[in-house]
Amino acid sequence: MRRRSAAAAILCLAGFAWPGMSSALTGAAPLEEKARAGKAAPAEQRRIRGAYLARAANCMGCHTARAGRPYAGGRSLSTPFGTFITTNITPDMATGIGGWNEEDFWKAMHEGKSRDGRPLYPAFPYTEYTKITREDSDAIFAHLQSLSPVSQKNPSSRIDFPYDFEPLLILWRAVYFKPGVYQPDSLKSREWNRGAYLVQGLGHCSACHTERNPLAVVRGAYDEDSSGAQIMGSNWYAPSLTSSAEAGSAKWPMGEIIRLLTTGVSRLATTSGPMAEVVGQSLQHLTKEDARAMAVYLKSLPESNPRPKAGAPALTEEVQKLFRQGAGIYKRHCQDCHGDAGQGAPGIYPPLAGNRAVTMNPPVNVIRSVLNGGYPPVTAGNPRPYGMPPFAQTLNDGEVALVLSYIRNTWGNRASFVTRAQVDKSREGIH
C-alpha cells in the first residue's frame, strides 16, 4: 500500500510532462476512456493511457502464460536459440517488478537492460520499443504498477549454447542495436507519423516481419538456405510488409487494411497463427484513429526488392497430370468452402484465386493452413468466425503437396511446386 501511494506521488509529479509531448505522437485514447480521463486526476489519466499503450504493444500477450494470470509471465517462447520464459511484470516485490522505478523501467524499454544492468535478450522486442517516448514508457509503467501484484516465480529461460554466452549478446548489441526514440518526419503528416510510431515502436511489427534484418542473428527469421528455418520456434513465415507479393498494402484500399488489422479478416486476406494472436490481443483494441494512422503508414511504404521467386513449373504434360490429381483432391476436400473457381466467400472463406498468401514463397504458411486448419481470431468485428478443418489426419504428405501445387497454379495463380519433403518438415510435432 505504502509503495503504491509513493508511486502515485511520483507519477503525479511526472504527470505534467506528458500533455506537452510532441503532438505528432499524441495518439487518441479510446473515446470513452478519454472522456473519463478528462475528469480524472493526471496520474489516473496517465494510467488509463498506459493501459491502452500496453495493449497496442501487446505486453500482456507475451507476459502471460496460457490461461495464466495476466502479466505474471511464464509463457515460453521457443526460438532456435533456446526457450525464453517471460518474466513477471506485475508489481510484486519479490517475483515481479514491484521494486522498480520509472528510470529502471525506461532502461529496460529503451536500452534493453534489466534493473541490475544485465543486457536483455531481444526476444523482448526492445529493439523496437526503444522508439517509444519516455512519456509513453512512463505511462505503461504507471499502468503496470497499478495492477494487483501477483506472486509467481517463473522458471528461468533455457538458452542454448553458445547463445547463453553473455559477451556474444553484448557484441550483438554493439553491432545491431541502436537505442533511440522515434523521430517524427516533419515532411510527413501527423497521421503518418503516428502510424510510423505505432508500427515501428509499440506494435513492434518488424520484430516478426523484417526479413534478413539484424535480428535474424538472434531471432532466426526465415532463411531459405538454412534448414529447419523457424520463426519464433514455429514453422511460420512472417511476410514482408514492403512487398505487394507478400504483406505489403500499397495497392490495397484503406478500408481493407484497417479491416484486416482490426477484425482479423478482410476481403483480400485472413490472419492466422501468430498474426491472428496479434490482432486478437492487440490490434483490435486500437482506436479508429490509430488503426487508420497505421494503415496510412503501411500503405505508404515503398516497394522493396521482392525476394527472387522460386519459379513456377513449366506446364508440361507430366505437370498437367499432377495438377489433375491435385484438382481431384481439391474438389473432394476444399471446394465446398473455397469454391469451384477458388473464389471463396470473401470475409468468411478466403478466396484462393489471386490470394498472395497462397502463392507466397516459402510456402510454409499454406502448408500449415492445410495441415492444422484454424479459425481467424474472435474480434469485436468478427465475433463468430468460420474455420478451416485440419487435414493432417486425412491427407498424406503427397496429397497435401499435390493439392497445394494445384491451387498455386490455377485460376491465374502461378508459383513453385510444393514438395512432399516440405510438407513433411512442417508436420513436426503434429500427430
Give the x/- contact pattern for ligand HEC in 362-401, rule: CB under 6 A.
---xx--xx---xxx---------xxxxxx-x--------
Q: Nearer to ligand HEC by C-beta: 131 or 316? A: 131
Binder among 106, 163, 176, 375 for other proteins (CB under 8 A): 375
| Binding segment toward other proteins, per CB under 8 A, in 29-37, 117-125, 139-147, 338-346 | 338-346
Is residue 244 a contact point for ligand HEC (CB under 6 A)? no
**Is 431 within any annotated ligand binding site?**
no
The answer to whether residue 423 forms part of the interface with ligand HEC (CB under 6 A) is: no
Binding residues among 142-181 for other proteins as defined by CB under 8 A: none
Query: Does 333 appear as a known binding residue?
Result: no
12 annotated to bind ligand: no
Q: With the CA atoms of 152, 156, 157 and 163 taken in that order, what torsion angle do they form, in degrees rounded to the nearest 10?
A: 150
Question: How far, in Å, CA of 144 to CA of 151, rounded?
Answer: 14
286 interacts with ligand HEC by CB under 6 A: no
Q: Return the one option of other proteins, ligand HEC, none that residue 8 interacts with (CB less than 5 to 8 A, by type).
A: none
Query: Binding of ligand HEC at residue 270 (CB under 6 A)?
Result: yes
Smallest gap, in angstroms, from Cβ of residue 31 to other proteins? 23
Site string for other proteins, 394-413 (x = CB under 8 A): x-----------------x-
Question: What, of ligand HEC, other proteins, none, does residue 340 touch, CB below 5 to 8 Å by kind?
Answer: other proteins
Burial category of 298 from C-beta neighbours within 10 Å (exposed 0-12, middle 13-18, buried 19 and up): buried
Query: Could you say whether residue 201 binds ligand HEC (CB under 6 A)?
Result: no
Known binding-site residue numbers for heme c = 59, 62-63, 205, 208-209, 334, 337-338
Q: Please give the residue ranges that form the binding site for other proteins (CB under 8 A).
A: 66-67, 251-253, 256, 264, 267-268, 276-277, 280, 336-341, 343-349, 351, 353-354, 372-378, 383-390, 392-394, 412, 429-431
